C-alpha cells in the first residue's frame, strides 16, 4: 500500500511540474507576442511605400528559405530578464573539441526574436537561426567562421565589434578581421546585411570605443558596397531627439541594451528593412 501511494504521489507531482512548466512557457510566448504587436502596430508594409528593401522583396517573392544572424550577446538578447529565465535550445556551434553553443531561446524579448516573430508570422516557411554567442568578437568569429558559415547561405545579418574593444589589440586588428569575415560571408551568401552595434556606457574601460567601431564598420561597408544599418547612429540620434538618456536604454555597468533599448532596435531595423510601419 505504501509503495502504491509513493508511485501515485510521484505521478501527480510529475504532472503538476509539467503543467507548471507548460504554463510558464505559454506565458512567456504570450508576453513576446504582446510586446511584438505593441511595437510593430502594423504587420504589413504600407501600400504607399515606394521603395522596398531587398530583403522584403525576396521574402515576398518566396525566394528566402533561411535567415541567419551572426553576432554576440546583443544578438543573443543579454540584458533583459527573459534571457536568464530560458533554457538551452538547439546547437548552433560545435567545433568537435568540446566548445558547444546553443541558440538563444525564442521567447527572449530581444530585437532578434521580434525579427523572428515577424518572419514566423508573415513568412512561416522561412527559418531564422540566431547564432548570437555571448562574449564573442569579430576576431573569434573570423577564426571560427567555417563552423558558422556554410558555402551556400541564403540571408545573413552580421553584427560584431562590441567585444573587439577588449579582444582585439587595436582598431586595425578589428578592421582586418571584420573585412576578412565579411568578404567570406558575402561570397557565400545571396544577401548580406551588416549591422553596427549600438552604443554602450562603458567605453572608458577600453582603448577604443563604439564610436570608433561604428566608423570602421561604415567605412568598410561604403568601400565594399555592403548593405549597412547602424544601430549606433540611430540610438544616439533617438536619445538626443527624444530627450531620453542612454542609461534608460542601456546597462550602466555592462555593454548590453535593456528592454527599452532592444524594443527601439527592432522598431528601427523593421523600418529600415521596410518590414513594418508605424501609424
Distance, CA of 135 to CA of 160 (rounded, Å): 10
106 and 116 Cβ atoms separated by less than 8 Å:
yes
Rounded-to-integer distance, Cα 218 and Cα 202, Å: 21
Going by pLDDT thresholds of 50, 70 and 90, the confidence category of residue 69 is very high
Neighbour tally for 176: CB within 10 Å:
15
Domains, the chain, with CATH or none = 2-272 (3.40.50.1110)
Backbone phi, then psi, for 127, in 5-degree steps? -100, 130
What Å distances lie between residue 159 and 12, 47, 62, CA to CA? 47, 30, 25
Percent of the chain predicted with pLDDT > 90: 77
Task: Find, among 277, 273, 256, 259, the residue nearest to 113 by Cα.
Answer: 259
Please, are residues 162 and 197 in contact by the beta-carbon 8 Å criterion?
yes
Read off the pLDDT band of 26 (50, 70, 90).
Answer: low
pTM (two decimals): 0.85
CA angle 66, 132, 273 (to 5 degrees): 55
Task: State the pLDDT at residue 89.
Answer: 86
Q: What is the pLDDT of residue 53?
A: 96
Q: Are 176 and 182 in contact (CB under 8 A)?
A: no
Residue 148 has pLDDT above 80, yes or no: yes
pLDDT of residue 186: 98
Residue 101: in which H helix or E strand, if any? strand 100-102
Amino acid at each position: 500500500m505504501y509503495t502504491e501511494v509513493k508511485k501515485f504521489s510521484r505521478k501527480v507531482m510529475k504532472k503538476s511540474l509539467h503543467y507548471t512548466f507548460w504554463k510558464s512557457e505559454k506565458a512567456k510566448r504570450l508576453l513576446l507576442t504582446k510586446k511584438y504587436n505593441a511595437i510593430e502596430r502594423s504587420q504589413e508594409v504600407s501600400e504607399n511605400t515606394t521603395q522596398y528593401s531587398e530583403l522584403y522583396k525576396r521574402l515576398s517573392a518566396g525566394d528566402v528559405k533561411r535567415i541567419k544572424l551572426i553576432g554576440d550577446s546583443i544578438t543573443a538578447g543579454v540584458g533583459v530578464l527573459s534571457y536568464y529565465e530560458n533554457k538551452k535550445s538547439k546547437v548552433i556551434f560545435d567545433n568537435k573539441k568540446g566548445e558547444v553553443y546553443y541558440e538563444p531561446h525564442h521567447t527572449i524579448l530581444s530585437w532578434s526574436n521580434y525579427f523572428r516573430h515577424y518572419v514566423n508570422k508573415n513568412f512561416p516557411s522561412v527559418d531564422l537561426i540566431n547564432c548570437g554567442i555571448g562574449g564573442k568578437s569579430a576576431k573569434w568569429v573570423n577564426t571560427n567562421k567555417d563552423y558558422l558559415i556554410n558555402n551556400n547561405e541564403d540571408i545573413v545579418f552580421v553584427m560584431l565589434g562590441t567585444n573587439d574593444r577588449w579582444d582585439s589589440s587595436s582598431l586595425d586588428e578589428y578592421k582586418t578581421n571584420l573585412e576578412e569575415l565579411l568578404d567570406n560571408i558575402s561570397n557565400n551568401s545571396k544577401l548580406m546585411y551588416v549591422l553596427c552595434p549600438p552604443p554602450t556606457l562603458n567605453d572608458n574601460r577600453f582603448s577604443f570605443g563604439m564610436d570608433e567601431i561604428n566608423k570602421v564598420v561604415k567605412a568598410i561597408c561604403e568601400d565594399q558596397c555592403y548593405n549597412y544599418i547602424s544601430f549606433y547612429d540611430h540610438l544616439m540620434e533617438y536619445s538626443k531627439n527624444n530627450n531620453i538618456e542612454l542609461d534608460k536604454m542601456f546597462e550602466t555597468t555592462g555593454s548590453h541594451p535593456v528592454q527599452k533599448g532592444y524594443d527601439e532596435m527592432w522598431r528601427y531595423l523593421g523600418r529600415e528593412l521596410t518590414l513594418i510601419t508605424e501609424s
